[in-house]
Chain A
Amino acid sequence: MIELREITKRFGERVALDGVSIVVRPGTVQVLLGSSGSGKSTVLRVILGLVRPDAGEVLVGGTAVTEATRGAVVQGIGYVVQDGGLFPHLTALGNVALPAHVHGWPPARVRERAAELGAMVGLDAGTLALYPRELSGGQRQRVGLMRALMLDPPILLLDEPLGALDPIVRAELQTQLGSLFATLGKTVLLVTHDIREAALLGERIALMKAGRVIQQGTFADLRERPATPFVTQFLTAQTMAADSRKDR
C-alpha cells in the first residue's frame, strides 16, 4: 500500500506538486496520467525518497518515507524508467543481477532467478550477455523490468516505461505488461501520458495537471463523469489526434 497525503513540492518558483493525495491499494494497478510537466514523475521520486516534499507525508507499507527510512523503504520497491535506465558498463545480465549481488545471493540462485525472469519477459541467455548499447529499445526496457523484479519486491513503480519505444513494440509490451501485472499481483504505480496505456493497464487512474490531481477513478469514471471540462479535453485530444491520423 502506498499513501500520499497532501504532498506539496516547490522547485524554486515552480510548484511541482500542489496538495497531491493518492492511495494505491495493495495488489492494484494505479496509473498517473498527465502531460509532461504535470508532476507525475515527481510523485514517484517523492515515494522513493529521492525528492523531499515541502509539506505532506508519504507512507509505504505503513512506514513514513524520511531521510532515515528511505534506504529501507526502497528495498521493497522495484523501479523502472524510460529506456530501462541500464548501466552501460554492465551486460544485461550484469544489470539484472546487480541488486542480487549487493544482497550477497549465491551465484547459482542469481542465475536461476535471472533465467526465470528472462523466460517471463521473453529474453534468452544470448541476449542477456549483450551490453545495453547492443540491445534494441524494447529489449532494454525488458531488461530494466527484469532488474526491478529481481528481488521480487511487493511494489513496482514505472516511470513512462514504454515512452521511448516505437508504436508496434509499444503495443506489444503494453499487452505483456498487462498480463504480467495480473499474474504477479504486485502493487503497481505507473506513470504515462498515453491514454490508451492508461485505459489498458490502470484499474484506477489519477489525471494530473500542473501539480494537482484533477480527478481519480476508473477510466469509465473519467470518461463518463468528468470532474472538469479539462478531463474531457485531455481524453479526447489524443483519441482525436489518433482518429485524424487514421482518416488520412
Chain B
Amino acid sequence: MVRHLLAAGVSLALAHALGTSAVGADGVIRVGSKSFTESYILAEIAAQVVERTGEARVERQLGLGGTGLTYRAVTAGAIDLYPEYTGTLAYIILKDPALRTVEAIRARLGPSGLTISDPLGFNNTYALALRAETADRLGLRRISDLARHPQIAAAFSSGFLEREDGWPGLTRHYGFSLPSVRVMEHALTYRAIASGEVDMMDVFSTDGQLERLRLRVLEDDRRFFPDYSAVLLARTDMALRYPRTWARLREALEGRLDEKRMSALNAMADLDGKSVPEIAAAFLGTAASSAPVRKGMGSEVLALTLDHLFLVVLSLAAAIVLGIPMGIAAARFRRTGQVELGAIGMLQTVPALALLVFMIPVFGIGKGPALVALSLYALLPIVRSTYAGLMSIESHLLEIAFVLGLGRTARLVRIELPLASIGIMAGIKTAAVMTVGTATLAAFIGGGGYGTLIVRGLAMDDTATILAGAAPAAAMALVFHAAFELLDRLAVPKGLKR
C-alpha cells in the first residue's frame, strides 16, 4: 500500500517537474523579468500584449534575479523575452563599451539567436538628484554646475561610490570633486533628502520617488553616464514563429514610455501599492476588469504551497536516498570518509543562492536545478548524522554481533542502522526544516514556491507580500517538524526510546 502511494507520488512529481520545465513547447511564449519593480512592470505589460494578441499562450517567469540569470535563461530558451537595458547589454553582456547604438547591439546579438526591439523611450541610468528648492536656490541645472558649489552635502549608495561608471569616473570626467560625500543605504537616503539632512543623492532616472519627493535630476551635460535605454531582448526564433505578436509588442512599447511615464508607473507599484497586472492593464488602456482575471492572493498561496511542498518533498527524498548510503560509506571507509565529509561540508559553505546560480549553466532555470541544489544542500545533515550515529555505537556491541555470527550486511541492517536511527532521524528532521526555508530561494531561478511572493515583495518593498510568502513557509517548517516527530515513533525502535 505504502509502496503504491510512493510510486504514484513519484510519477506525479516527475510529471510535474517535466511539465513546468519543458523548454520550447509549442504555442507558449515565456516572458521573464529581473527582480525589481520596473522589470516586473515591463514584463507584465509584454505578457498582457502577448495574451491579447492571441497567437500564443503566455507563461510568466517573473523575478528571476539579476542580469546573469535572465540572460542565461533567454539564451538557453527557458524564457523567450525580457526587458533589458542597452548599457547592460553593451557593458555587461557583450562587454564592448564601443557599442553605442541599438543597431550595433542588435547586430552583435544576431549570432546568438537574439534580437532587441527599438528603445521603449526612457533611459534608466544613474543620475544625480537634488530637492527642487535646493536646485532652484543654487541655480543648479547641470552636473558641471556642481563645481561652483563645494558645500553640497552628498550621500551615495556604496555601488555608485565604487563603480567606474559612478562617482569616481564622474569626478575625473568632469574634473571636480566634493568634500562632503557619505555612503548611505538607498532607501534611507530618500528619507534623508526629504528631511533636508542631505542635499544630493544618486538615483536611477526612473525611480518612482523622484516625482513624489519633488527631486530634480541634474543634466549630464558632458555625457558621462552610459545610456541605459530600455528595450525588449527576445529570441529570434520566437519573433519568427510569432511575427504578429512580436510586431504588436514593438508597436505597444517602442517609444511609448518616457522617464516621466515610467517613473509614474514605478511609483504606482512602490508608493501606491497597486498590483503589477493592474498597472500594466492601466498602461495598455484596458480597464482593470478586462485585464486577465488574476487569482486572489489566497488561491495563489495555495498553488504555491503545492509547489513548495513538491520542491521540499522531492529534494528531501533524494537527499535521504543518497545521504544515508553516503553516511554508511563514510563510517565504513574512514579515510575516504573524511574526504567525503569534507567535500559535503564545503558544499554547505557555498551560499544557497550561489549554489542555485551555479546550477544554471548545467540544468537551466526552473524546478530542475532548484531540486538538484536543494538536494545537495540537504545532504550534509543527513550524511553527517548517519555517520555520527554509526560511529557512536559502542564497539563492544559490534564485536558481540560479530561473535554471534552476523555478517557485514546483517550487522548493518539488524544492529547498526537501528541503533543509529535516533541520530539519522534527527538529521533528516534538520534537513527537512532547513529545506523548507532554503526552498524559498528557488524562486530566484524560476523554481516557484513561496519564494515567488518573497522575491516579488522584496522587489516592490511590499511587506504584506513578503509575509504572504514567509509566514506559510514558517508554518510549513513547523508542520514538517511535527510530522517527523510522529514518524520518529515508527522509525525508532521501541527499546531505544526514553
The answer to whether A89 and B404 touch across the interface, beta carbons within 8 angstroms, is no
Chain A residues with Cβ below 8 Å from B419 are: 87-89
Q: How far is the CA of A98 from the CA of B400 in the complex (A)?
A: 11
The answer to whether A91 and B404 touch across the interface, beta carbons within 8 angstroms, is no
Q: How far is the CA of A131 from the CA of B406 in the complex (A)?
A: 21
Does A77 make an interface contact (CB < 8 A)? Answer: yes
Shortest B402–chain A CB gap in Å is 7
The answer to whether B405 and A103 touch across the interface, beta carbons within 8 angstroms, is yes
The answer to whether B405 and A88 touch across the interface, beta carbons within 8 angstroms, is no
Of A50, A74, A89, A90, which is in contact with the most chain B CB atoms at under 10 Å from its CB?
A89
Shortest A87–chain B CB gap in Å is 6
Does B414 make an interface contact (CB < 8 A)? Answer: yes
Question: Chain B interface secondary structure, helix, strand, loop or mixed?
Answer: helix
Name A84's closest neighbour in chain B (CB-CB): B400
Does B496 make an interface contact (CB < 8 A)? Answer: yes
| Interface, chain B (partner A; CB < 8 A) | 396-397, 399-407, 410, 414-415, 418-419, 421, 493-496
Contact with B along A136-170 (1 / 0, CB 8 A): 00000000000100010000000000000000000
Q: List 18 A-B contacts (CB under 8 A).
A: A45-B399, A50-B403, A74-B402, A77-B403, A81-B400, A87-B415, A88-B495, A89-B419, A89-B421, A89-B493, A89-B496, A98-B404, A99-B404, A99-B405, A103-B405, A131-B495, A132-B495, A151-B405
Chain B residues with Cβ below 8 Å from A147 are: 404
Of B402, B404, B494, which is in contact with the most chain A CB atoms at under 10 Å from its CB?
B404
Q: How far is the CA of A102 from the CA of B404 in the complex (A)?
A: 9
The answer to whether B403 and A89 touch across the interface, beta carbons within 8 angstroms, is no
Chain A residues with Cβ below 8 Å from B415 are: 87
Shortest A50–chain B CB gap in Å is 5
Chain A residues with Cβ below 8 Å from B495 are: 88-91, 131-133
**Assuming the A-B contacts A102-B405, A103-B405, are A88 and B396 also in contact, with contact meaning beta carbons closer than 8 angstroms in the complex?**
no
Name A94's closest neighbour in chain B (CB-CB): B495
Name B404's closest neighbour in chain A (CB-CB): A99
Chain A residues with Cβ below 8 Å from B421 are: 89
Does A75 make an interface contact (CB < 8 A)? Answer: yes
> Which chain A residues numbered 95 to 111 have a C-beta less than 8 Å away from chain B?
98-99, 102-103
Does A79 make an interface contact (CB < 8 A)? Answer: yes
Of B399, B402, B414, B495, which is in contact with the most chain A CB atoms at under 10 Å from its CB?
B495
Of A87, A98, A103, which is in contact with the most chain B CB atoms at under 10 Å from its CB?
A87
The 6 lowest CB-CB distance pairs between A and B, nearest first, are: A89-B493, A131-B495, A89-B418, A79-B403, A99-B404, A89-B495
Question: Chain A interface secondary structure, helix, strand, loop or mixed?
Answer: mixed
The answer to whether A102 and B402 touch across the interface, beta carbons within 8 angstroms, is no
Chain B residues with Cβ below 8 Å from A87 are: 397, 400-401, 415, 419
Shortest A44–chain B CB gap in Å is 10
Does A207 make an interface contact (CB < 8 A)? Answer: no
Chain A residues with Cβ below 8 Å from B494 are: 89, 131
The answer to whether A75 and B405 touch across the interface, beta carbons within 8 angstroms, is yes
Given contacts A74-B405, A88-B496, A151-B405, 10 further A-B contacts (CB under 8 A): A50-B399, A75-B405, A87-B400, A88-B419, A89-B419, A89-B493, A98-B406, A131-B494, A131-B495, A147-B404
Q: How far is the CA of A75 from the CA of B493 in the complex (A)?
A: 28
Shortest B25–chain A CB gap in Å is 52
Chain A residues with Cβ below 8 Å from B396 are: 81, 85
Q: How far is the CA of A74 from the CA of B400 in the complex (A)?
A: 10
Name B496's closest neighbour in chain A (CB-CB): A89
Name A88's closest neighbour in chain B (CB-CB): B495
Does A48 make an interface contact (CB < 8 A)? Answer: yes
Chain B residues with Cβ below 8 Å from A88 are: 419, 495-496
Q: How far is the CA of A48 from the CA of B403 in the complex (A)?
A: 7
Chain A residues with Cβ below 8 Å from B418 are: 89
CB < 8 Å: which of A48, A98, A133 contacts B414?
A: A98
Chain B residues with Cβ below 8 Å from A81 are: 396, 400
**Assuming the A-B contacts A85-B397, A87-B397, A87-B415, are A74 and B403 also in contact, with contact meaning beta carbons closer than 8 angstroms in the complex?**
yes
Shortest A70–chain B CB gap in Å is 8
Name B422's closest neighbour in chain A (CB-CB): A89
Contact with B along A42-78 (1 / 0, CB 8 A): 0001001010000000000000000000000011010
Q: How far is the CA of A131 from the CA of B495 in the complex (A)?
A: 6
Shortest A163–chain B CB gap in Å is 13
Name A99's closest neighbour in chain B (CB-CB): B404
Shortest A113–chain B CB gap in Å is 14
Name B395's closest neighbour in chain A (CB-CB): A50
Q: How far is the CA of A88 from the CA of B396 in the complex (A)?
A: 13
**Assuming the A-B contacts A85-B396, A98-B414, A102-B410, are A50 and B496 also in contact, with contact meaning beta carbons closer than 8 angstroms in the complex?**
no
Chain B residues with Cβ below 8 Å from A74 are: 402-403, 405
Name B493's closest neighbour in chain A (CB-CB): A89
Of B403, B405, B410, B496, which is in contact with the most chain A CB atoms at under 10 Å from its CB?
B403
Chain B residues with Cβ below 8 Å from A79 are: 400, 403-404
Q: How far is the CA of A133 from the CA of B495 in the complex (A)?
A: 7
Q: How far is the CA of A89 from the CA of B406 in the complex (A)?
A: 16
Chain B residues with Cβ below 8 Å from A50 are: 399, 402-403
Chain A residues with Cβ below 8 Å from B406 are: 98, 102
Chain A residues with Cβ below 8 Å from B402 are: 50, 74
**Assuming the A-B contacts A102-B410, A131-B494, are A85 and B405 also in contact, with contact meaning beta carbons closer than 8 angstroms in the complex?**
no
Name A51's closest neighbour in chain B (CB-CB): B399
Shortest B491–chain A CB gap in Å is 11
Shortest A41–chain B CB gap in Å is 10
Shortest A146–chain B CB gap in Å is 12
Q: How far is the CA of A27 from the CA of B221 in the complex (A)?
A: 110
Q: How far is the CA of A147 from the CA of B399 in the complex (A)?
A: 14
Name A159's closest neighbour in chain B (CB-CB): B396
Contact with B along A3-32 (1 / 0, CB 8 A): 000000000000000000000000000000
Q: How far is the CA of A90 from the CA of B493 in the complex (A)?
A: 8
Q: How far is the CA of A1 from the CA of B401 in the complex (A)?
A: 23
Chain B residues with Cβ below 8 Å from A103 are: 405
Shortest B45–chain A CB gap in Å is 63
Name A72's closest neighbour in chain B (CB-CB): B405
Q: How far is the CA of A87 from the CA of B397 in the complex (A)?
A: 7
> Which chain A residues numbered 106 to 142 have a C-beta less than 8 Å away from chain B?
131-133
Name B492's closest neighbour in chain A (CB-CB): A89
Chain B residues with Cβ below 8 Å from A48 are: 399, 403
Q: How far is the CA of A88 from the CA of B400 in the complex (A)?
A: 13
Q: How far is the CA of A152 from the CA of B97 in the complex (A)?
A: 88
Name B399's closest neighbour in chain A (CB-CB): A50
Q: How far is the CA of A218 from the CA of B251 in the complex (A)?
A: 111
Chain B residues with Cβ below 8 Å from A91 are: 495
